[in-house]
Structure 1
Amino acid sequence: MTAVTWTVTGTPIGPLLLAATGRGLANVVFHADGAVLGRAVDRLAAHFGGEPAEEGGETGPPPLADAVRQLRAYFAGTRTAFELELDWSLSSGFNLRVLRELAAGVPYGTVVSYQDLADRVGEPGAARAVGAAMGSNPLPVVVPCHRVVEQNGGIGGFGGGLPAKRALLELEGVLPQPLF
């Protein structure tokens, strides 16, 4: 059993659930209200073996308080990199390799294609599997799956919804802001 704490923080792309263990931030969930929030907390309980405890945002334990502060600074445009301890226990195998490469090798304000990311982890035939890894990312925004796009210039998919992906890419200056 691993102790888990969580909080919900408001952002310009909607409420995000942040969950942490003693090892670091373990989960970020989009649209974290109502039924989505309940299901996310239930999944955390099932994975970590105990009922997660709700904590208060910036006043919570260090992994959560740090994450809330850094996310607020990111959305305010004053932070371009996260400096958080991460608990990677919700990922494994190929997905974990891809997510670690994404976190380490695709900085703020840049994008990479699914194919390029597959090449970087030594699996050139695995562009579709990279897409699946992005869909399974337990730490979106912090581990920036929004920076992965189609090789032909398309935006690709996104677990938080395409409007959120566009907003994140616009924030980072990768997409121009809409004219209308």
Structure 2
Amino acid sequence: MPRTQTPPRNPMPRTHTTIDSPYGPLTLVATGTELSGLYMVQQRHRPPEETFGAPGDPADTPFAETVRQLTAYFAGELTEFDLPLHLDGTPFQRRVWAELRRIPYGETWSYGRLADRIGQPTASRAVGLANGKNPVGIIVPCHRVVGSTGSLTGYGGGLDRKRRLLEFESGQQLPGLF
């Protein structure tokens, strides 16, 4: 299972870089040497740019490895990310985000199933809110969560991107350009 760390009490410096992807530009944010954000253009709950820190070198840690793994993912060669993550959130949000990383590539779970998996079967709405605040889209695969009927519901990157990511992972579509 990929590594996830609890945020330290003393904030470390943040840096960021922007890369191209088949789903549009992605802003990668690092806290120290750990990835702490992956944001799409016009993403709901995208933090203000000034919180991303100074521009970073894409060749630095963790950006180079993140780019390598994302490139392999978009090429259909990688189905599970292994990156050191620094996820800022409440303990409940971090539990939801950790469980999201257990959803297998090419599969979807409902919000209710995710709530069951974290031991809070009546918390599907709270799970949905935590899912929407996921700071590291794609790598923490919040796009793999759907409504109880299998319908595509809420995605911070937009429902079209969610549909395209799910189609890509199921082998129905190449990533293409957004």
Is TM (by shorter chain) over 0.5?
yes
In 1: Cα distance, 2:161 partner to 2:120 partner: 29
2:149 matched to which residue of 1?
152
Cα distance, 1:135 vs. partner? 0.8
Q: TM-score, normalised by structure 2?
A: 0.84
CA contact (8 A) 2:33 2:61 kept: no
Cα distance, 1:55 vs. partner? 2.1
Does residue 107 (structure 1) correspond to residue 117 (structure 2)? The answer is: no
1:142 counterpart (126, 139, 144): 139
Q: Which runs of 5+ in 2 are unaligned?
A: 1-10, 174-178
Q: How many residues align?
A: 162
1:48 matched to which residue of 2?
none
1:47 matched to which residue of 2?
none
In 1: Cα distance, 2:33 partner to 2:104 partner: 23
1:164 matched to which residue of 2?
161
In 2: Cα distance, 1:6 partner to 1:20 partner: 6
In 1: Cα distance, 2:78 partner to 2:54 partner: 28
Cα distance, 1:94 vs. partner? 1.1
In 2: Cα distance, 1:23 partner to 1:68 partner: 14
Query: Mapping of 1:23-62 within 5 angstroms?
Result: 23-31=33-41, 40-44=48-52, 52-57=53-58, 59=59, 61-62=60-61
2:85 alignment partner, SS class: coil
Q: Which amino acid aligns with 1:94?
A: F
Query: Mapping of 1:57-96 within 5 angstroms?
Result: 57=58, 59=59, 61-88=60-87, 90-96=88-94
In 2: Cα distance, 1:40 partner to 1:80 partner: 30
Q: TM-score, normalised by structure 1?
A: 0.83
1:73 alignment partner, SS class: helix
RMSD: 2.0
Q: Which runs of 5+ in 1 are unaligned?
A: 45-51
Moved over 2 A (4+): none
Does residue 16 (structure 1) correspond to residue 15 (structure 2)? The answer is: no
Higher relative contact order (CA 8 A, sep 6+): 2
Cα distance, 1:171 vs. partner? 1.2
2:13 matched to which residue of 1?
3
